[in-house]
Amino acid sequence: EAEVAQSPRYKITEKSQAVAFWCDPISGHATLYWYRQILGQGPELLVQFQDESVVDDSQLPKDRFSAERLKGVDSTLKIQPAELGDSAMYLCASSLGALGTDTQYFGPGTRLTVL
């Protein structure tokens, strides 16, 4: 069964350092999402891609966060500089399309700890 791949699974960094997360969606999925999940809460959307284009980044803190999906396949989410409040689980998801009916399939996530 195809799955969304993410790496690394865990990342510990010091504040003010740069970190990057990678995501490889299910093959053929045109839509890719990055979510942030703070402990005890549900995931919140950071950015949504349709192929290589950003369609929603309204919740992405653009002063420190950036995301790209250059060839419309895998994607990278970067934080620079990291802050203590960025400690969270970062989840990547993909779906065939962007319709409300399309199921989003999630990867295992990257647990970020900022010291």
Partner 1 sequence: AQSVAQPEDQVNVAEGNPLTVKCTYSVSGNPYLFWYVQYPNRGLQFLLKYITGDNLVKGSYGFEAEFNKSQTSFHLKKPSALVSDSALYFCAVRVTGTASKLTFGTGTRLQVTL
Nearer to partner 1, 30 or 81 (CB): 30
Q: Closest distance between partner 1 and the C-beta of residue 79, in Å? A: 19
Taking the complex as a whole, the smallest distance from the CB of residue 54 to partner 1 amounts, in Å, to 13
CA dihedral 53, 92, 65, 46 (to 10 degrees): 80
Binding residues vs partner 1 (CB under 8 A): 4, 6, 33, 40-45, 48, 50, 55-56, 91, 93, 97-101, 103-109, 111
Beta bridge partners of 106: 93
Decide whether 85 or 97 has the Cβ nearer to partner 1. Answer: 97
Contacts of 53 (CB under 8 A, 6+ apart): none
